[in-house]
A = this chain, B = another copy of it.
Amino acid sequence: MKTNSLIVEIDGIDKEILRDLMEDARKPILQIANKIGISGAAIHQRLRKLEQSGVISGSKFTVNHKILGYNTMAFVGIYLDKAARNPEAVRDLKKIPEVLECHYTTGNWSILIKIICRDNQHLMHLLNTKIQAIEGVSRTETFISLDQQIDRQIQL
Contacts and interface: CB of A to CB of B under 8 A. Distances in A.
Contacts of A70: 154
Contacts of A109: 143
Contacts of A108: 143
A42 interface: no
B142 A107 contact: yes
Interface string A33-69: 0000000000000000000011111111111110111
Contact of A105 (B6, B10, B105, B145): B145
Given A60-B60, A90-B149, A112-B143, 12 more contacts: A23-B58, A57-B63, A58-B61, A59-B59, A63-B153, A75-B112, A93-B149, A97-B154, A101-B150, A104-B149, A105-B144, A106-B144
Contacts of A69: 7
B57 A62 contact: yes
Contacts of A26: 25-26, 59
A146 interface: yes
A72 to B, nearest CB: 11
A151 B101 contact: yes
A54 B75 contact: no
A2 to B, nearest CB: 12
A21 B55 contact: no
A146 B68 contact: no
